């Protein structure tokens, strides 16, 4: 109980004033392969097998003349999704940039789905036509429950190719955490920053490892008989990792997920 109180006190006093917190800032320039399928990469889900969704490297062809983007290939009603856990009562923005690269028709939109049980649509943008220059789609909404939400980008209509870039999810009124290590024993994470798997160097046997988002939501937990933890499914960002030893001692460190 003492260490639980200490940990909660640490979280409480680490919180800063309400400010915009970035949940996702994806320009597709890190961790992607030119011409590769997007499905399963950095947490992206792809709902249709055809047409193909690929990450593309092309000098100056992305938004703001960047070199990377995602491309929806011609045909069908393709849809991709990124899942994030949100906090009830907080306000979020979701935006992405679209560009049509061939053909004469086609519509794109963004949607937010609440994923507690059967998916329920919370909001969606207009599904107007897309031009040959990048244009923004933007949604602002307040989460009514602390659960997972799906942030979706959908090709609504048309046979054109579409480029997608600079996908952002922000919380406009979330508290952000500043990290200082709280350690009852010597403990290290490796590698840190991490991509897929993390291991531990600890002077005491570890009974539990928990990972928390900047908003305080627990995103991963492991207990007993582990030497490493897979973190590949976590979104890129900064997390708080809390370890507990068998005697109740606690150690915390910042974890950076690439």
Using the CB atoms, write b or e for 24-37: b if 16+ within 10 Å: bebbbeeebeeeee
14 pLDDT above the threshold of 60 = no
φ/ψ of 10, rounded to 5, equals -60, -45
pTM over 0.75: no
Nearest Cα residue to 255 out of 203, 146, 177:
177
Superfamily of domain 179-257: Macroglobulin (MG2) domain (2.60.40.1930)
φ/ψ of 4, rounded to 5, equals -60, -45
Is residue 22 helix, strand or coil? strand
- What pLDDT does 215 receive? 67
- What pLDDT does 101 receive? 85
Superfamily of domain 21-174: Galactose-binding domain-like (2.60.120.260)
Residues in a beta bridge with 114: 120, 149
Fold agreement between 21-174 and 179-257: no
Q: What is the mean pLDDT of residues 160-181?
A: 78
Give the domain ranges of the chain: 21-174, 179-257
């Amino acid at each position: 109980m003492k260490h639980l109180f200490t940990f909660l006190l640490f979280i409480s006093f680490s919180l800063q004033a309400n400010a915009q917190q970035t949940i996702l800032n994806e320009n597709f320039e890190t961790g992607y392969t030119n011409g590769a399928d997007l499905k399963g990469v950095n947490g992206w889900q792809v709902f249709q097998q055809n047409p193909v969704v690929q990450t593309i490297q092309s000098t100056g062809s992305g938004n703001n003349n960047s070199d990377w983007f995602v491309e929806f290939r011609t045909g069908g009603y393709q849809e991709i999704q990124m899942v994030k856990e949100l906090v009830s009562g907080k306000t979020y923005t979701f935006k992405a940039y679209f560009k049509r690269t061939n053909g004469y028709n086609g519509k794109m939109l963004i949607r937010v789905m609440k994923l507690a049980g059967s998916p329920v649509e919370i909001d969606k943008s207009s599904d107007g036509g897309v031009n040959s220059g990048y244009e923004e789609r933007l949604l602002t909404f307040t989460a009514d429950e602390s659960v997972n939400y799906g942030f979706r980008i959908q090709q609504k209509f048309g046979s054109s190719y579409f480029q997608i870039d600079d996908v952002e999810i922000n919380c406009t009124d979330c508290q952000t955490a500043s990290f200082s290590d709280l350690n009852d024993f010597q403990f290290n994470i490796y590698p840190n920053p991490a991509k897929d798997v993390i291991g531990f160097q600890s002077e005491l046997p570890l009974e539990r490892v928990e990972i928390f988002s900047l908003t305080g939501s627990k995103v991963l937990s492991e207990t007993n008989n582990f030497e490493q933890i897979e973190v590949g499914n976590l979104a890129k960002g900064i997390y708080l990792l809390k370890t507990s030893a068998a005697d109740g001692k606690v150690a915390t460190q910042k974890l950076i997920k690439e």
